[in-house]
Amino acid sequence: MATAAIAESSAAPHGEHTHYTTTGLENRKIAMWTLIGSECMIFASLISTYLVYKGRSKVGPWPHDWGCKTSAIVGKTAAAVQAAGCAAADVMKPVLDIPITSQSTFVLLMSSLAMVLALEGVENHGKPGYDRWYKGSRFWLAMTALMGAAFLGYQAYEFTSFVHEGLTIRTNLFGSSFFTLTGFHGTHVAVGVLWLVSLLAIDMKRGLKGATDVLLVDIAALYWHFVDVVWIAIFTLIYLIQ
């Protein structure tokens, strides 16, 4: 009978510890991709809700328009709102500050670049040229974490100034959906920063090198780039498109 269907495999001989995987890739990488698939649906739900609720708020402040604290007047400029009968003291600015957020977006984009360089540093650990501080993984991991933290700083500033302008998570549908969406994203950045700092700590302690550590950083990089890409979607759909 030629089809002895079950036989011992040469893949895992006695006494030798080799973890066999079907594709030869590492488990954690597949897991991260799966998780990212799920996260896509999370952010899709949040962004759709924001877009569905766009323009449905009953009171200001508004994302892109000028408003009035005492009435439902909305206009493209402060003058338009005042002309429609709103007292100067009651005029509300549009809350979204595109120049400032462009800066934080730029910082986050650059952090992805730093992440790429950090991974390169781990991959080439010990190779000639990579022993210089500005080529090594420690510097670039620190830079990535720092830029992530800077982004969070921008977000903290942004949130505080919105609150000063009268927009909280309870004010209107815009406030609820905006703070929830960007807050979710900010939490993801915070988790990423924590992760990067942990990697940096390992790097300081024993140095990140070899295939296992490359994988470790690779997975963090995958997550970090994903969080970055989500922000590009948020920035475009929520800030840029009026």
Partner 1 sequence: MASSAAPAPAFAAAPAATGQSGLWSWLTTVDHKRIGMLYLWTSLAFLFVGGTEAFILRLQLAHPNGQVVSAEVYNQLFTMHGTTMIFLVVMPLSAAFFNFLIPLQIGARDVAFPRLNAFSYWVYLFGGIFITLPVFFNVAPDAGWFGYAPLTTNQFSPGIHIDFWVLGLQILGVSSLAAAVNFITTIIHMRAPGMSMARMPMFTWMSFVVQFMLVLAFPAITIALFFLQFDRFFGTQFYELAAGADPLLWQHLFWIFGHPEVYILVLPTFGLVSEITPTFSEKPLFGYNVMVFSGILIGFLGFGVWAHHMFAVGMGATADTIFGIGTMLIGIPTGIKIFNWIATMWGGNLRFTVAMKFAIAFVALFLIGGVSGVMHASPPTDLQQTDTYFIVAHFHYVLFGGSVMGIMGGIYHYFPKMTGRFLSEKLGNWHFWMFFIGMNLTFFPMHFSGMLGMPRRVYTYDAGQGWDTFNLISTIGVVFQGIGLFVFAYNFLKSWKGEKNAPGDPWSAGTLEWSIPSPPPEYNFAQLPIVTSRYPLWDIKHPERTAELRHSDPDTAVVAEAHGVPMLEQTETRTAKALGIPMPFPTIKPLFAALFMVMLFASLIFLHTASLQVAVVSMIGTTLLFIGAVYSWLTSPLE
Contact positions toward partner 1, by CB under 8 A? 1-17, 20-23, 25, 27, 30-31, 34-35, 37-39, 41-42, 44-46, 49, 52-53, 56-58, 169-170, 172-173, 175-177, 179-180, 198
Rounded least distance, CB 83 to partner 1, Å: 26
Tokens (6 digits) for 107: 């910082």
Segment holding 91, helix H or strand E: strand 91-92
Choice between 5 and 211, CB closer to partner 1: 5
Choice between 100 and 210, CB closer to partner 1: 210
**Burial code of 202-218, b = ≥16 C-beta within 10 A, e = fewer?**
ebeeeebbeeebbbbbb
Choice between 114 and 141, CB closer to partner 1: 141
Locate tokens 């915070």: which residue? 190
How far is 188 from 195, CA to CA, in rounded Å?
A: 10
- Edge-to-edge, what's the strand order for the sheet holding 91-92? 74-75, 66-68, 91-92
Choice between 23 and 134, CB closer to partner 1: 23
Tokens (6 digits) for 226: 């994903």
Rounded least distance, CB 132 to partner 1, Å: 30
Rounded least distance, CB 94 to partner 1, Å: 19
Tokens (6 digits) for 162: 């919105």
Rounded least distance, CB 219 to partner 1, Å: 12
DSSP state of 136: S
Determine contact, residues 63/238, Cβ cutoff 8 Å.
yes
Phi, psi of 73 (to 5 degrees): -65, 135
Choice between 39 and 218, CB closer to partner 1: 39
Choice between 140 and 174, CB closer to partner 1: 174
Rounded least distance, CB 192 to partner 1, Å: 14
